Amino acid sequence: MIFNVLTLFPEMINEAVSHSIMGRGIRSGHISVNCVNIRDFAINKHGQVDDSPYGGGAGMVMMAPPVYDAYKSIVGEGTSPPVIYLSPQGRVLTQKIAEEIAALPEIILLCGHYEGLDERIIEEIVTEEISIGDYVLTGGEPAAIVLMDAVSRLVPGVLGKADSYKDESFSDGLLEYPHYTRPPEFRGRMVPEVLTSGHHSNIEKWRQEQSLARTKVKRPDLIV
């Protein structure tokens, strides 16, 4: 899967995706992250990409032309992959949305800054707005990183074992059961006996009960 990222801070993106599972996914060729620096398409030699808002008010607004030219540098005259604008006004990202996005071969992520983007660039190129939660970030980059992380691990081949995400929180609508590893006792806390019993069907049953019980307590809203 190809993630194109239109951003004023490509270093932020490239650094974040170079580690851990995403870094490995990139090196193995299962995903690729292509940052385009919007400042390379500034309107003048001072690198200007923003201006004060028409109608007055605080802050600066990112200008439409540099964003459009950055976008065109990816798509040329051909058809465009979906363009997702990271914004608190978007649909809130869920596991289901991450799964939908992971089924696409290529997307373009647009990261805004300052007070936002000139509305006309949103009208012109954006297919969908996505938020990562009901709070306001200083820019779209952390949100793009979160989205790429949640999506890449669903791209076949990115995680080691093909189905190692199947048991996880949200993949079946419930939270994940608790995990334990050595030592068997930690500061007086024991590993639940069933896990060391070697009785696979009891372990499976216990895990399902734990999943349901913690979802009821921690996230009752997930149980409809």
136 binds ligand ADE, rule: CB under 6 A? yes
**Least distance from C-beta 118 to ligand ADE, angstroms?**
16
Do 73 and 41 contact (CB within 8 A), yes or no?
yes
- How many residues of this chain interact with ligand ADE, rule: CB under 6 A? 11
Q: How many helices (H) and strands (E) does the chain have?
A: 7, 9
131 binds ligand ADE, rule: CB under 6 A? yes
Give the CB-nearest residue to ligand ADE.
143
**Least distance from C-beta 26 to ligand ADE, angstroms?**
23
**Which amino acid is located at 45 in the chain?**
K
Residues 76-115 close enough to bind ligand ADE by CB under 6 A: 86-88
**Which amino acid is located at 57 in the chain?**
G
**Residue 22 or 146: which CB sits closer to ligand ADE?**
146
In degrees rounded to 5, what are phi and psi of residue 215?
-65, -40
Interacting residues of 186 by C-beta distance below 8 A, sequence separation 6+: none
Helix residue ranges, H only, the chain: 10-17, 20-27, 64-75, 95-102, 119-125, 141-152, 200-218
143 binds ligand ADE, rule: CB under 6 A? yes
* Distance between CA atoms of residues 72 and 76, nearest Å: 5
Which residue's structure tokens are 């600066």? 60
* Residue of 46, 54, 135, 185 that binds ligand ADE (CB under 6 A): 135
**Residue 31 or 109: which CB sits closer to ligand ADE?**
109
**Least distance from C-beta 122 to ligand ADE, angstroms?**
13
**Binding string, residues 183-222; x marks residues near ligand ADE by CB under 6 A:** ----------------------------------------
Do 70 and 43 contact (CB within 8 A), yes or no?
no
Biggest CA–CA distance in the chain, Å, is 70
**Residue 30 or 142: which CB sits closer to ligand ADE?**
142
List of residues contacting ligand ADE (CB under 6 A): 86-88, 131-133, 135-137, 140, 143
